[in-house]
């Protein structure tokens, strides 16, 4: 078909602690790719627009209480409900920059005490990112950047635990970016990594699945 003859887009995931600069860098990366001629969309998880996403949003803003396993599965369901659209976008040539993905899902829930393998199980079979950019910053340094908001999880002690669990999830698709550098330096590093990856994907790198 015409769709499958097109070079596919890349699945680029950006991870990191709260206040590590993810959202800013995702927006900059999106305009960079667009201006370089690569059709690009910016996605984020949780996607608070869906009905599952609204339950998640209420939980994060402390308007509702949910059992730890229940909210974990809702975060996962929120990725599954977008998974076929994600695949379609990639296969028809759109690069996706995704602000948080399954790594957030596992790191945050594991930091609450749930087992890592239990946390990974519902993620198995989702599309695996072509590249994970981890914006590396200490929780103390992150908190200094204007402080955290008042959502659940935005506390230094908890974020430290999350960063430990993130480390256990690192694999060969990860690129660790020093997020303590200036915004421009971080931006330049990300651009280089991502452009290479976008080219690799357009040249036929195949999509794979988590978590193999
Ligand atoms: N979070 C995010 C999780 O606990 N699990 C997940 O699967 C995802 C995607 O939700 F504290 C947490 C991480 C963060 C909170 O994310 C909301 P944003 O990026 O701050 O909106
Ligand atoms: Mg947040």
Tell me the mean pLDDT per 10 residues along the chain, length 212. Answer: 74 97 97 97 98 98 98 99 98 98 98 98 98 97 86 95 98 96 97 97 97 84
Q: How many angstroms separate the alpha carbon of residue 154 from the centre of ligand 2?
A: 7
Confirm if 93 and 39 have CB atoms less than 8 A apart. Answer: yes
Interface pTM (ipTM) of the complex? 0.98
**Is the CB of 75 inside a 6 Å radius of any atom of ligand 1?**
yes
Distance (Å, whole) CA 39 – CA 125: 25
Confirm if 142 and 166 have CB atoms less than 8 A apart. Answer: no
β-strand partners of 133: 14, 175
Q: Cβ contacts of residue 202 below 8 Å, gap of 6+?
A: 7, 8
Q: How many angstroms separate the alpha carbon of residue 169 from the centre of ligand 2?
A: 20
Distance (Å, whole) CA 59 – CA 48: 11
Q: How many angstroms separate the alpha carbon of residue 51 from the centre of ligand 2?
A: 19
Report field, pTM of the whole predicted structure over 0.95: yes
Give pLDDT, residue 55: 98
**Is the CB of 105 inside a 6 Å radius of any atom of ligand 1?**
yes
The enclosing H or E element of 205 equals: none
The percent helix, strand, coil of the chain (3-state, each to 5) is 50, 15, 35
Q: How many angstroms separate the alpha carbon of residue 152 from the centre of ligand 2?
A: 8
Pocket test for ligand 1, best of 19, 55, 58, 60 (most atoms within 8 A of CB): 60
């Amino acid at each position: 078909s015409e769709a499958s003859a097109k070079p596919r887009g890349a699945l680029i995931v950006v991870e990191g602690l709260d206040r590590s600069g993810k959202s800013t860098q995702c927006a900059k990366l999106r305009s960079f790719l667009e201006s370089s001629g690569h059709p690009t969309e910016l996605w984020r998880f949780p996607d608070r627009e869906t009905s599952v996403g609204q339950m998640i949003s209420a939980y994060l803003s402390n308007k509702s209480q949910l059992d730890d396993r229940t909210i974990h599965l809702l975060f996962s369901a929120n990725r599954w409900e977008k998974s076929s659209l994600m695949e379609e976008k990639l296969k028809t040539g759109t690069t996706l920059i995704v602000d948080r993905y399954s790594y957030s899902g596992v790191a945050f829930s594991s930091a609450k005490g749930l087992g890592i393998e239990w946390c990974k199980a519902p993620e198995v079979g989702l599309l695996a990112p072509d590249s994970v950019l981890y914006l590396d910053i200490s929780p103390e340094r992150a908190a200094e950047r204007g402080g955290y908001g008042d959502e659940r999880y935005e506390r230094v002690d908890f974020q430290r635990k999350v960063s430990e669990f993130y480390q256990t999830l690192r694999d060969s698709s990860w690129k660790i970016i020093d997020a303590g550098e200036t915004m421009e330096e971080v931006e330049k590093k990300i651009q280089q990594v991502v452009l290479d990856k976008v080219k690799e994907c357009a040249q036929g790198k195949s999509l794979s699945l988590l978590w193999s």
